[in-house]
Structure 1
C-alpha cells in the first residue's frame, strides 16, 4: 500500500497530523487493516494467526479520529508484542504490551495531534495504560465529547449525575443511588428493583415527575 492509498483509506478517520506516523508504523511491519462495523463489546481487534504471514487488525468504523488513533496504536502494540516475544506466558495487556503501547504512543502525545482536553488525561493514562480507554473514566469522558456531530443531541454520563438524580435509559426511568467503583447502583422507578449500571452509560436527565422524551 502506498502512502497515498493509506491517506485515502484513513483520511477523516485519523487526525491529519497522525496519518504519516501511522503509515510509517504500517510500513515498518505491514498488517491488513480492516475498517469494521460498529461492535458494542470492542473498539478494535488483533488476533494472531500462526498460519498467516500478514496479520489482521480491525477498527470500528464509527470512532471519532482521536479514539480511532488510540485504538489503532493499541492494536499495533499487540502486533509488535507478538512479533518480538515468545507468545507463551505473555498476557494480552501485560508489561510487554504496556511498554510497546507507551513507546508507540509517545510521538503522538502532542497538542498538534490531540486537543488539550484529551491530551491531559491521555498523558496520565499512558503512564500505566489500561486494557481499554473505557477503564479510564476521565479519558473516556473527554473522548466521548468528540463522538457527537454538530447539531446532534448528546446525553449525560451516568457517572456525572449526583445521587438522587432521576434519569431515563432504554425507555425506563431510574434514580441514581450510589457509585460502586465502575458501576452505579440505581433503582428503577416503576418496579423498585435495583440494578448496577456502568457509570459510562449515556442517559437522559429527567426532572422529578417528568415523562421520558421518547
Structure 2
C-alpha cells in the first residue's frame, strides 16, 4: 500500500497517511476520473469502509481529497450517522486530520497560506474555494480547459456534458451564464473549468 501511495501523494505524507488508512480499516480504491467528484466514502454492507479517489488528481489535491474522505469516516464513527455530511463535526475532524500535513515538508510554500485560510472553515469541496482551487491547478498536467473568469463576456463555452452557455456578468462572487438551448440562467463559480468555444 505504501508503494501505491507514493505514486499519488507527496512522499513525506506517505507514512502518516498509511497509518490513518490502517488505523481506520480503510479499503482505498483509486479510480478513473469522475467529473462530478474527486472522491467519496461509503460504508459497505460488509461493514468495510471504502474510500475512492480519482487517479488523475495531482499529488496535493489527492492528499486533500483522501484526508477529506477519511474525515467522513472518523466523524461518523465518533459522532454517529445522523450528523450532516459536511457539518460542524466533519469540519472539526477534517481540520484535526489535515493539520499535521499543512507544513513545508508536504506542500509547496505558495500553497501554505491558502491551505491555512481554507482550513479555518473547510468547505464540502476545495473546488468551492476559488483561490485554493486555482493555486492547486498549477500542479495539474496541462489541459485545454479554461476557467469561467477567463472566458470573455458574451462568449460561448461548453461543459463536460455538452451543454453550451453564454458568459454573462459577474455578480458578487459568481458569474451569471445563459444556457443557449433553454434560455435558463445559471450561476458558475469563477474556477469552474469549461471549454471555450472560439
Task: State if a TM-score over 0.5 links the two structures.
Answer: yes
* Residue in structure 1 matched with residue 49 of structure 2 by the alignment: 55
Q: Residues 143-162 of structure 1: matches in 2 within 5 Å? A: 143-148=136-141, 152-160=142-150
Alignment match of 1:177 (pick from 153, 168, 175): 168
Q: Residues 116-195 of structure 1: matches in 2 within 5 Å? A: 116-148=109-141, 152-160=142-150, 164=153, 166=155, 168-169=157-158, 176-180=167-171, 183-186=174-177, 195=185
- Which residues of structure 1 form unaligned runs of 5+? 1-5, 207-211
What displacement does 1:61 show? 1.1
RMSD value, Cα = 2.7
- Which residues of structure 2 form unaligned runs of 5+? none
Q: Deviations over 1:49-100 (max 9, x none)?
A: 4x43321111111111100000000011111112212223x11111111111
Q: Distance in 2 between matches of 1:96 and 1:174?
A: 38
Cα distance change, pair 29–66 in 1 and its aligned pair in 2 (3 A):
same
Cα distance change, pair 145–96 in 1 and its aligned pair in 2 (3 A):
same
1:37 and 1:60 in contact (8 A); partners too: yes
Q: Distance in 2 between matches of 1:32 and 1:187?
A: 42
What displacement does 1:200 show? 2.4
State the TM-score, normalizing by the size of structure 1. Answer: 0.78
Q: Greater Rg, structure 1 or structure 2? A: 1
Q: Distance in 1 between matches of 2:165 and 2:23?
A: 51
* Residue in structure 2 matched with residue 72 of structure 1 by the alignment: 66
Is 2:195 aligned against 1:201? no
**Residues paired across the two proteins, number:** 195
Q: Distance in 2 between matches of 1:87 and 1:34?
A: 22
State the TM-score, normalizing by the size of structure 2. Answer: 0.84
* Residue in structure 2 matched with residue 3 of structure 1 by the alignment: none
* Residue in structure 2 matched with residue 92 of structure 1 by the alignment: 85
Q: Distance in 2 between matches of 1:117 and 1:154?
A: 24
